[in-house]
Chain A
Amino acid sequence: MTGSAAFGGGDAYRPRRDVRFRRIGEEAVVVRQEAPEVLVLNPVGARVLELLAGGEPLDAVGAKLAAEFEVAPAAAAADARAFAAELESAGVIEPAPEAETGR
C-alpha cells in the first residue's frame, strides 16, 4: 500500500525492522540499515515518525500535530497521511499488525 489515498485515519504503522532513528536537536535522523540509507526529517516529520513508532494511529497523529503545531485539524490530518505515505514508500514504516495496535 503506497500513496496517501490508501491511508485511512485509523491505520497504524510502525518503523520497519531495520530502521533506527533518533531526535538530534530538532530533526530526526533515520537510518535504514539494509539500504543502507540515512534520512533527515524536519521537526514535523520527526514528530510524525515518533508518534507512529509510539503506536498512535494516523488519525491521532493528525490530531496531535494540529494541537502541537497550531494548524487546522483537517490540514494536519492530510499532512500526516501524506507524510506517512512518503515514509512507507521510502521503506521507513510499514502497517502495524492488528495485534500490536489493539484494533
Chain B
Amino acid sequence: MSLGAVIAGAWRDNVLVSALVELTYRCNLDCFYCYNDLGLPGEPLSRAQWERLFEDLAAMQVLQLTLTGGEPLAHPDFFALGRRARELGFLIRIKSNGHAVDEARARRLRDEVDPFLVEVSLHGAGPESHDRQTLVPGSFERLLGNLGAMARVGLRVKLNATLTAWNEGEIEAMFALADRLGLRLGFGATVTPRDDGDATPLSIAPSRAAVARLYRVLGERTPDPPATATSPEGCTPPPAAEKNCGAGSSGIAVDPHGNVYPCVQWRRPLGNLHQASIREIWASSPVLAGVRGLTVEAKRRRDGLGETGRWMAFCPGLSEQRTGDPLGVEPGALARAEVLRQVRTGAAPAAGTEAVVRRAPPPGAELGAAVVPPAGAAARRRTLLPVIA
C-alpha cells in the first residue's frame, strides 16, 4: 500500500496522524503579520499537561508532532518537552524563527530533540525586508549566522516564506539565497488575518502580479509540475478522497491554553485539555463530528466550482474566518486559483472570474488590497523575552 493510500485511509477513518502544538505565544521577534491571538484568554498548559498530551498522542499512534508557537523555544520547558516527545517516538517538526538557535542551542536540538525537520521563517532576501517584517533590527544577519550553525551541527532545515507586499520584489533573490545556503524554500502566497480576526496583516498582502510571478517561479523550479495542481500551498487531497482536507480527521492543533482545533487555520474549538483528555475530545466532541462532515461538504463545494475548483486551495478554516461560513468561497482563494490557472495553462482570465473577485471580497481580501490598520494595532507588540534573546 502506498503512503498516499494510508493517508487517504486516515482521512476516511478519522485516524489521528499529525498534531501541531503551539507551546507558547511568547516570541523573540514581533512579526508584523503574525497570526497569533496574543489576547487569548485562558490558563497555559503546565509541563505535566503537555507531557500527558504527548503520551496520549503517542498511545493514539500519532506519528508527526509539530512544535510551534509563537516561538516554541521561548517556552521555558521547551527542551524537556522536546526530549519527552523524542522518547515517545514522534517524528518531530519544529517551526521556529531561528533567532535563538545559535550553535549551542542547535547542538541541544540535535542531541536532545532530534527533530526530523526544523522549519525556519525567512521574510526577505536582505535585512531591509526581513527586519521590516520581524520588527527586530539585526534579525536577518543573526538568522544567517544561526542557519550556518544549524548546518554545521547537521540539523535538517527548511526555510518557509510568505509572499507579502514588502518582499514581493525579492522572490528570485530569496530563492537564490536559499540555494546558496543549500536549503529548500517553501513559499506561500496567503497572508491571513490574525486568529482574533484582526485584519491588519492583510495590509501587506502581495499584489496579484507578484502572486503570478511566484507561481511561475515555483513552476520553473519544479521539474514536473502537475498539470492540474490544486495549489502550490499544500492541503491537496489524496486521490479519490471524499474530504477536502484532513482537518479534524487526521490532524489537530492545540493552542498554549489547551484549546483543541481541527487545524492551525480552523480555529473552531473542539474542546479544552483542562477539561478533557485528547482521547475524549477525539472520540466524542460533537463539534469535531460536525467538522468532519464539513470537510466532506467542502470537497463537494470545491468540486462544484469546476475548473476554478481544480486550482483552488479551499481552506474551510480560512473561509470560516473570512466569510463566516466554512463552505463559503473566500475571495482571496478564488483570486489565487485564477492566477494559478492562468500561470499554469497560459490561459486568459476566465470569463466572469474577475467580476467575482471584484464584487465579492470584503475590504482587504483581494490579493493586494490595502487595509488601514485599526487604531491600537501597535498596542499588540510583544514583550521581547530575554529568556531566549
Q: Which A residues contact B (CB, under 8 angstroms)?
A: 17-18, 20-25, 27, 29, 31, 33, 36, 38, 40, 42
Contacts of B3 in A (CB 8 A): 29, 38, 40
Contact of B2 among A21, A36, A40 (CB under 8 A): A40
How far is A29 from B10 in the complex, measured between Cα atoms in Å?
12
Contacts of A27 in B (CB 8 A): 1, 6
Given A27-B6, A40-B6: A33 and B91 within 8 A (CB)? yes
Contact of A25 among B2, B9, B62, B89 (CB under 8 A): B9
User: For residue A53, which residue of chain B has the nearest CB?
Assistant: B89
Asked if B208 is at the interface of the complex by the 8 Å CB criterion, the answer is no
A29 touches B89 (CB 8 A): no
B90 touches A29 (CB 8 A): no
Shortest distance from the beta carbon of B15 to any chain A beta carbon, whole Å: 6
Asked if B144 is at the interface of the complex by the 8 Å CB criterion, the answer is no
Contacts of A24 in B (CB 8 A): 6-7, 9-10, 15, 17, 61, 63
Tell me the number of A-to-B contacts counted with CB atoms below 8 Å: 48
Which residue of B6, B13, B90, B156 has the most chain A CB atoms within 10 A of its CB atom? B6
A20 touches B156 (CB 8 A): no
Prevailing SS type, chain B contact patch: loop
How far is A25 from B1 in the complex, measured between Cα atoms in Å?
12
Contacts of A42 in B (CB 8 A): 1
Prevailing SS type, chain A contact patch: strand
Shortest distance from the beta carbon of A43 to any chain B beta carbon, whole Å: 10
For this complex, 21 residue pairs linking A to B, each with C-beta atoms less than 8 Å apart, are A20-B63, A20-B91, A21-B63, A21-B89, A22-B17, A22-B61, A22-B63, A22-B89, A23-B61, A24-B7, A24-B17, A25-B6, A25-B15, A29-B6, A31-B63, A33-B116, A36-B116, A38-B3, A40-B1, A40-B2, A42-B1
User: For residue B250, which residue of chain A has the nearest CB?
Assistant: A24
Contacts of A29 in B (CB 8 A): 3, 6, 63
B116 touches A20 (CB 8 A): yes
Shortest distance from the beta carbon of B165 to any chain A beta carbon, whole Å: 35
Contacts of A22 in B (CB 8 A): 17, 61-63, 89
Contacts of A20 in B (CB 8 A): 63, 89-91, 116
How far is A8 from B138 in the complex, measured between Cα atoms in Å?
59
How far is A100 from B162 in the complex, measured between Cα atoms in Å?
47
How far is A24 from B8 in the complex, measured between Cα atoms in Å?
11
Please encode chain B, from 1 to 29, with 1 for each CB lying within 8 Å of some chain A CB and 0 for all others. 11100110110010101000000000000
Shortest distance from the beta carbon of A44 to any chain B beta carbon, whole Å: 13
User: For residue A41, which residue of chain B has the nearest CB?
Assistant: B1
User: For residue B154, which residue of chain A has the nearest CB?
Assistant: A34
User: For residue B65, which residue of chain A has the nearest CB?
Assistant: A20
Q: Knowing that A31-B91, A36-B116 are A-B contacts, what are 17 other residue pairs whose CB atoms are under 8 Å apart, sorted by A's residue number?
A: A17-B114, A20-B89, A21-B63, A22-B62, A22-B63, A23-B61, A24-B9, A24-B17, A25-B10, A29-B3, A31-B63, A38-B3, A40-B1, A40-B2, A40-B3, A40-B6, A42-B1
How far is A22 from B90 in the complex, measured between Cα atoms in Å?
9
